[in-house]
Amino acid sequence: MNPLPSWRDGRTHTTLLRFVDEVTTPGGPAFVPPEARIAAFDNDGTLWPELPMPVQLHHLTEQWRRMAAERPELAAEEPYASALTGDPTWIASVVAAHYAGDDTPLPALAEAVIATQRGMDTATLAARIGEFFATARHPQLDRPYQACAYQPMRELLGLLRGHGFTTVIVSGGGRDFMRVISEEVYGVPPERVIGSTPALRWDPDRADVVYGDGIELLDDGPEKPLRIWSRLGRRPLLACGNSNGDIDMLAYAAATPGGLALLVHHDDPDRADPAYDTGAEQALSEAARRGWTTVSVRDDWSRVFPSPDDTPAP
């Protein structure tokens, strides 16, 4: 039985199956014990779509729209003005500037993110995010976000776990946002989600952890290998990403003895999930230069999204 039915036969499919076989065959020259089989995956653009906006940004936009309705004075400020008009241009420009190395407009966006959760306890925010996922649909695919996870990646996650790998998410997205949905969609429990982290504080009166007044770290670029080591104390044997922000994590895995680096390339203009290279130009160049495995959505995936009868990732 083919463990990766949504992957087309070809070099990438063969590479994945050979890699799993080699590192899990006892007595083989490339054998790696189960405790060292760590597989790290970026989320947005790697496990599910990031266009026309990252999923978390959709959730935040809904929160900013609600806040601006409650406090009309916010309507003239960004990103609240964009949220009210439904025009994503300003928000997209901040994200694009970040990927281009310019974080000048980022503080305004960061403050608005913090404002949606300042002083809130973690359970209340998780419940609010859960309410979003109960009703929200991808604006172009018209699917619940739970049904937007890439089926080939769900199969790869399941294959790896079935061979003793520990799968973790390492994303520039918000850690606590992803934790709400990661186990249901990807089979990755919340304690194995690494991401951008808000400031937290202990509230003795409530005997609870609440959100503070800042962002502790942005888990992107070189922060990714640092967070992997800090959280797990192990190097990844496999890493998979799709953007310039994943280069350091991919290099970390590729430098591990027997390691494998995978870069998802959105190169199929005929799929519902559009083709794009923006934000991945350097990663594509590095993958070619270093001999990393590039996953072509056009050539390697026979389908992109799960059908209604597909079971969640095991």
Check residue 50 and give its pLDDT.
94
Check residue 108 and give its pLDDT.
86
What would the pLDDT profile of 241-274 be if each residue is shown by its tens digit? 999 999 999 999 999 999 999 999 999 998 888 9
Cα separation values, 64 from 75, 105, 115, 132, 223, Å = 9, 17, 9, 13, 28
- What is the distance between the alpha carbons of residues 116 and 127, in angstroms, rounded to a whole number? 14
What would the pLDDT profile of 62-79 be if each residue is shown by its tens digit? 999 999 999 999 999 999
What would the pLDDT profile of 121-144 be if each residue is shown by its tens digit? 999 999 999 999 999 999 999 999
Q: Is the pTM of this model over 0.85?
A: yes
What would the pLDDT profile of 80-105 be if each residue is shown by its tens digit? 999 998 887 888 788 778 767 788 88
What would the pLDDT profile of 212-229 be if each residue is shown by its tens digit? 999 999 999 999 999 999
Check residue 110 and give its pLDDT.
87
In b/e form, how buried is each residue of 249-275, taking b as 16+ CB within 10 angstroms?
Answer: bbbbbbebeebbbbbbbbbbeeeebee
Check residue 106 and give its pLDDT.
82
The 3-state secondary structure of the chain, one letter per residue: CCCCCCECCCHHHHHHHHHHHHHHCCCCCCCCCHHHCEEEECCECCCECCCCCCHHHHHHHHHHHHHHHHCHHHHHCCCHHHHHHCCCHHHHHHHHHHHCCCCCCHHHHHHHHHHCCCCCEHHHHHHHHHHHHHHCECCCCCCEHHHCCCHHHHHHHHHHHHCCCEEEEEEEEEHHHHHCCHHHHHCCCHHHEEEEEEEEEEECCCCEEEEEEEEEECCCCCHHHHHHHHHHCCCCCEEEECCHHHHHHHHHHHCCCCCEEEEEECCCCCCCCCCCCCCCHHHHHHHHHHCCEEEEHHHHECCCCCCCCCCCCC
